Amino acid sequence: VKNLRDGTITSPRGFLAGAAAAGIKTKGGPDLGILYSEKPCVAAGRFTKNRIKAAPVQWCQDRVSSGKAQAVIINAGCANACTGEQGLKDAKAMAQAAAKKLGISVNSVLVASTGVIGKKLPVDRIASGVKKIKLSANGGHELARAIMTTDTHPKEIAVACEEYGFTVAGIAKGAGMIHPDMATMLSFLTTDARIDARLLDRLLGEAVGASLNMITVDGDTSTNDTVLILANGAGGVVKAGTKAADAFAKALFKVCTYLARSIAADGEGATRLIEVTVDGAKSLADARMAARTIVGSPLVKSAVHGRDPNWGRIIAALGRSGAEFNPKKVDLYLDKIQLMSAGEPVLFDKKTASAAMGKDEVKVRVALNGGKHSATAWGCDLSAEYVAINSEYTT
Amino acid sequence: VKNLRDGTITSPRGFLAGAAAAGIKTKGGPDLGILYSEKPCVAAGRFTKNRIKAAPVQWCQDRVSSGKAQAVIINAGCANACTGEQGLKDAKAMAQAAAKKLGISVNSVLVASTGVIGKKLPVDRIASGVKKIKLSANGGHELARAIMTTDTHPKEIAVACEEYGFTVAGIAKGAGMIHPDMATMLSFLTTDARIDARLLDRLLGEAVGASLNMITVDGDTSTNDTVLILANGAGGVVKAGTKAADAFAKALFKVCTYLARSIAADGEGATRLIEVTVDGAKSLADARMAARTIVGSPLVKSAVHGRDPNWGRIIAALGRSGAEFNPKKVDLYLDKIQLMSAGEPVLFDKKTASAAMGKDEVKVRVALNGGKHSATAWGCDLSAEYVAINSEYTT
């Protein structure tokens, strides 16, 4: 599988997209978009495990269970969460507006929203906005922009597998309230692979577990976390147990990991990406728990921000993660620099360590030396800008 | 039970304390102190559940299990955590220095440290510092100052129960790496009550569970969390199942709650205290989990900082807390203002709500209406100052 230059969610055959400024965001700009497949698709999704689920999440869960869909309508500026019965009606109205425009059944339209919680969806503006949207085969870029909130740039990617004749692509939005639990706040994937719903669902779950579910910006799991994949079958056949399925899994993982890393690196107020790998764990769950706890620690995040090799915070976060390990076996590395060996501090050059913490990608590796499992998690540094962004969001 | 004016840890009969500047903190100032009881004491403690435990925590755990102690030596500026075998030797050397000065057995001396993780304890400076300490019956204030790191003021309190003839007092330090799991980073309690070790241990556990374990500053559980109580028996008798025991439990809870609230309000960079009460929960564990998750949410903390009544973040944090509840039954209040009723938004005046978020104590109440259990948790707002403090700590 290889990256497509300028790839986006409409790179796989048969997908169109477009966006418009519907006046949902108070600041203006594109805030409404549609993703549409010319053919009906096999679909799979993963949604927030937050007990409070936004109306569009509830709408999608009901639809995706059928394994079929043909379009997704997405808005930024209003999350349509904690909006009660009216919220569910509004999510349906939003689907209906798209269904009417596209001439398809309302049940083929998935819905996603992001923005302020507790505000009612402006359905009239959405209905007018839908009319303004022009769909095109290159419209993925527009759509990726329209779903942004505090993101500083769109996140999009497409990878092609020539051998088995398919492309997998995706877009995502992140920035804040990012601690995905089963999915991340708005990630959309497309593929032209011909794949059945069951296999698609399994492979999506595997890819998301090791990518989008391994990032954190602020530890706050959103009410709207949604990842959706539509497969329209316009390309090569992918069957369970074949090499094509392996290639597809690899492509999907590549797309999901790219989006996950992009979301982490573009976290609210972030100036750099932090990548934490934990290996030698007794179980995959332990490795994942440890990696994500370390990368999410406000003290580790602040230390990275200040290029301060205060590695004790990494070890303290590891210790509280809940992962099982023997403290006397732990090795710790920052980039190539060893900071701890078998649980004891190692003398290191502070200037070199500080420089490693100033890189665009700060890499931490913790070797637990107690098993065979490993996991990588991604996050970002904590800056004063994060506080500024989140002190003045709704007002 | 009533508060004693100017009360501190030496307010109960028979306790002495003192502190000195030993040169452990790079910035200078008092950083070493001793708490001493003229009589041998019954002792109990609670320590961090972090898998990485600092050397002084290991020392204390071994000693406290005997239920006896007579002194505590405490330093700031170096946590003596992640220091391996040498760290354990150094903790013992610190206890020995105090034992020698006081003329008691080394096994009667408890040890606590706070500061940078991974740095070796400067035992020579501690030995010299110990000689400089002058113990006095009013030395609790000095001791409370000496254990501060990024705290802006000492935390101390004493409450007296005239009816049963005892006083309970305590000091604490907090500020950063505060998400106590079984205890908080350095809290010391004294009482002159005549109480057995078993009852003391049980009542300490109950008090800590509802107070010090219900605060969070940054979600990072420290490697050094320690709460110790010494009871020297110089005052009234407290036996299990008596009214005196009820009064003692009440006094202990009052002291612990005061210290817990003080730590939360003085969290690194904090400008105000946030108090979250969750009631109507199915279990105490659910109520506690929900309250502490909400008060620890970076998005909630940032919103409070900016006086932004973005209540959706409170509900999102509740949803991810793991607590069981029915989203359609949730009521939400900010101070006296209702924001949500039976899961639906309520219209409220934004200015009044914003003003409520600007108070020194911001009070949130979540009624789950699904059971009889309630819990209160305390935290603080998140400011740019938190990032500044933690970006430049070791360097």
pLDDT digits (tens, 9 = 90+) for B159-180: 999 999 999 999 988 777 677 6
What integer is the mean pLDDT of B354-381?
95
Residue in this structure with the two tokens 């030993």, named with its chain if needed: B22
Do the Cβ atoms of A312 and B81 come within 8 Å? yes
Distance of CA A36 to the CA centre of its chain: 20
List % helix, strand, coil for chain B (3-state, nearest 5): 35, 25, 40
Identify the CA nearest to B223 among candidates A318, A188, A226, A23: A318
Do the Cβ atoms of B117 and A315 come within 8 Å? yes
Nearest CA in chain A to B331: A82
- Enter the ipTM: 0.82
Q: List the structure tokens of B57.
A: 């925590």
A9 vs A169: CA distance, rounded Å: 5
Within 13 Å, how many C-alpha atoms sit on residue B273's CB side? Answer: 18
| Chain A neighbors of B388, CB-CB under 8 A | 384
Tens of pLDDT, residues B240-298: 999 999 999 999 999 999 988 988 998 888 999 999 999 999 999 999 999 999 999 99
| Chain B neighbors of A295, CB-CB under 8 A | none
A331 vs A365: CA distance, rounded Å: 8
Q: What is the DSSP letter of B194?
A: B
- Report the gap between the CA of B21 and the closest CA in chain A (Å): 24
- Report the gap between the CA of A112 and the closest CA in chain B (Å): 17
Asked if residue B14 has pLDDT above 80, the reply is yes
Q: Is B167 helix (H, G, I), strand (E, B) or coil?
A: strand
Q: Tell me the torsion sign for CA atoms B367, B373, B376, B382.
A: negative
- Pick from B220, B299, B393: which is nearest to A218 by CB? B299
Give whole-number Cα distances, A99 to A12, A74, A189, B73, B383, in Å.
Answer: 22, 13, 20, 72, 45
* Spatial contact of A212 and A227, defined as CB atoms under 8 Å apart: yes
| Chain B neighbors of A309, CB-CB under 8 A | 394-395
For the stretch B335-340, contacts whose Cβ atoms lie closer than 8 Å and that sit 24 or more positions apart, written own/partner, are B335/B359, B335/B362, B335/B363, B339/B309, B339/B311, B340/A82, B340/A118, B340/B311, B340/B315
Q: List the structure tokens of A260.
A: 């996950």
Q: How many CB atoms lie within 10 A of CB A79?
A: 30
Q: List the structure tokens of B106.
A: 């080394």
Q: What is the DSSP letter of B382?
A: -
Residue A80 identity (one-letter amino acid): N
B117 vs A107: CA distance, rounded Å: 56
Give whole-number Cα distances, B233 to A339, B70, B113, B230, in Å.
Answer: 47, 12, 27, 9
pLDDT at B395: 47
Residue in this structure with the two tokens 């606590």, named with its chain if needed: B112
Element (H, E) at B37: strand B32-47
Residue A89, C-beta contacts closer than 8 angstroms, at least 6 positions apart = none
A317 vs A332: CA distance, rounded Å: 13
Average per-residue pLDDT in chain B?
Answer: 91
Do the Cβ atoms of B297 and A220 come within 8 Å? yes
Of A264-273, B100-109, B312-321, which has the strongest mean pLDDT? B100-109
Q: Is B161 helix (H, G, I), strand (E, B) or coil?
A: strand
Tens of pLDDT, residues B111-124: 999 988 888 999 99
* Spatial contact of B275 and B233, defined as CB atoms under 8 Å apart: no
A-B Cβ pairs (cutoff 8 Å, strict): 225
The region of weakest confidence among A264-278, B118-132, B222-236, B342-356 is B222-236
> Binning pLDDT at 50, 70 and 90, where does residue B184 land?
low
Q: What is the CA radius of gyration of chain B?
A: 21
In DSSP notation, B364-380 reads EEEE--SSSEEEEEEEE
pTM: 0.85
Residue in this structure with the two tokens 């817990």, named with its chain if needed: B260
- Report the gap between the CA of A358 and the closest CA in chain B (Å): 12
Residue A110, C-beta contacts closer than 8 angstroms, at least 6 positions apart = A43, A45, A59, A60, A63, A64, A69, A71, A72, A73, A95, A228
- Report the gap between the CA of B269 and the closest CA in chain A (Å): 11
Do the Cβ atoms of B223 and A315 come within 8 Å? yes
pLDDT at B1: 83
Active site positions of B, annotated: 184
> Binning pLDDT at 50, 70 and 90, where does residue B181 land?
low
Interface test with B, best of A82, A315, A341 (most B CBs within 10 A): A82
Asked if residue B210 has pLDDT above 90, the reply is no
Q: What is the DSSP letter of B197?
A: H
Candidate list A8, A83, A167, A184, residue with the active-site label? A184
Asked if residue B65 has pLDDT above 80, the reply is yes
Q: Is A184 a catalytic residue?
A: yes
* Spatial contact of B174 and B266, defined as CB atoms under 8 Å apart: yes
> Binning pLDDT at 50, 70 and 90, where does residue B183 land?
low
Tens-level pLDDT at each residue, chain A (395 residues): 889 999 999 999 999 999 999 999 988 899 999 999 999 999 998 888 888 889 999 999 999 989 899 999 999 999 999 898 999 999 999 999 999 999 999 999 999 999 888 889 999 999 999 999 999 999 999 999 999 887 888 989 999 999 998 999 999 887 776 776 655 678 888 999 999 999 999 999 898 888 888 888 877 787 888 888 999 999 999 999 999 999 999 999 999 999 889 889 988 889 999 999 999 999 999 999 999 999 999 989 999 999 998 898 999 899 989 999 999 999 999 999 999 999 989 999 999 999 999 999 999 999 999 999 999 999 999 998 888 888 875 54
Interface of A with B in 45-84 (CB under 8 A): 49-53, 79, 81-84
pLDDT at A372: 97
Asked if A352 has any chain B CB less than 8 Å from its own CB, the reply is no
| Chain A neighbors of B118, CB-CB under 8 A | 311-312, 315, 340, 345
What integer is the mean pLDDT of B81-104?
95
Asked if residue B384 has pLDDT above 60, the reply is yes
| Chain A neighbors of B319, CB-CB under 8 A | 50-53, 221, 223
pLDDT at A393: 57
Question: For every residue of chain A, which 3-state class applies, written as one string?
Answer: CEECCCCCCCCCCCEEEEEECCCCCCCCCCCEEEEEEEEEEEEEEEECCCCCCCHHHHHHHHHHCCCEEEEEEEEEEECCCCCHHHHHHHHHHHHHHHHHHHCCCHHHEEEEEEEECCCCCCHHHHHHHHHHCCCECCCHHHHHHHCCCCCCCCEEEEEEECCCCEEEEEEECCCCCCCCCCCCCCEEEEECCECCHHHHHHHHHHHHHHCHHHECCCCCCCCCCEEEEEECCCCCECCCCCHHHHHHHHHHHHHHHHHHHHHHHCCCCCCCEEEEEEEEECCHHHHHHHHHHHHHCHHHHHHHHCCCCCCHHHHHHHHHCCCCCCHHHCEEEECCEEEEECCEECCCCHHHHHHHHCCCEEEEEEECCCCCEEEEEEEECCCHHHHHHHHCCCC
Q: List the structure tokens of B318.
A: 């509740």
B344 vs B63: CA distance, rounded Å: 54
Asked if A392 has any chain B CB less than 8 Å from its own CB, the reply is yes
pLDDT at B9: 93
pLDDT at B387: 85
Q: List the structure tokens of A339.
A: 């900071």
Residue A384 identity (one-letter amino acid): A
Identify the CA nearest to A182 among candidates A200, A157, A207: A207
Q: List the structure tokens of A221.
A: 């799991």
| Chain A neighbors of B382, CB-CB under 8 A | 387, 390
B128 vs B147: CA distance, rounded Å: 18
Nearest CA in chain B to A119: B345
Interface of A with B in 189-248 (CB under 8 A): 218-223
Asked if B370 has any chain A CB less than 8 Å from its own CB, the reply is no
Q: Is B13 helix (H, G, I), strand (E, B) or coil?
A: coil
Nearest CA in chain B to A317: B220
